[in-house]
A and B are shown apart, each in its own frame.
Chain A
């Protein structure tokens, strides 16, 4: 149980294009999903908290107009990196927590490379 999927696993795009990443909880409902970014040999940095049916809460320093988050259902959240630039290249990971539980389960991550 508690499986989180993420798609795509890897994407390469040109500078200036937009990329959408999907995060799904496969066997449980998640009112809250979280989006993290991880640079090589560094820790997970929370970008935003995604709440089903409401606007996401962004961490300080994260541009909400650049990283668009939509949490349309209890099993799906999407992160769109708009007008991507090489400095956006990173490992993006989502996590999901079931209703009224502490435990966060992570997706497998998406490796984004912007050329």
Chain B
């Protein structure tokens, strides 16, 4: 089955700096890669996703890049703010409503003032 690795496990940045979180996946059939943000005790919230037919997607301060050949994808957050502090999870799926997500181990991001 699919295996998703995520690094780093913790990341501390100064407010205004950029943060990058990286994930690798094992199943070449995976074609859907969402990123979720989870605050303590809350539900995971989808922040951005990318499908395998594109290499990059951007939404304001958040961007995701995908390298299908190397089987890795990354989350980029620019101009970080204290409210960006949370746990971020990457995931991979072969797509479709009935296809399960395999999650990475999570990255605790702390944005310091």
Interface residues of A (CB under 8 A from B): 30-32, 34, 42-46, 49, 51, 91, 93, 95, 97-109, 111
Contact = CB atoms under 8 A, between A and B. Distances in A.
B37 to A, nearest CB: 11
B29 interface: no
B96 A43 contact: no
Contacts of A51: 98
A97 B49 contact: no
Interface residues of B, number: 25
A13 to B, nearest CB: 19
Contact residues of B: prevailing secondary structure: loop
A107 B43 contact: yes
A32 B103 contact: no
Interface of B: 32, 34, 36, 41-46, 49, 51, 89, 93, 95-106
Given A43-B104, A44-B89, A109 B98 contact: no
Given A43-B89, A93-B44, A99 B97 contact: yes
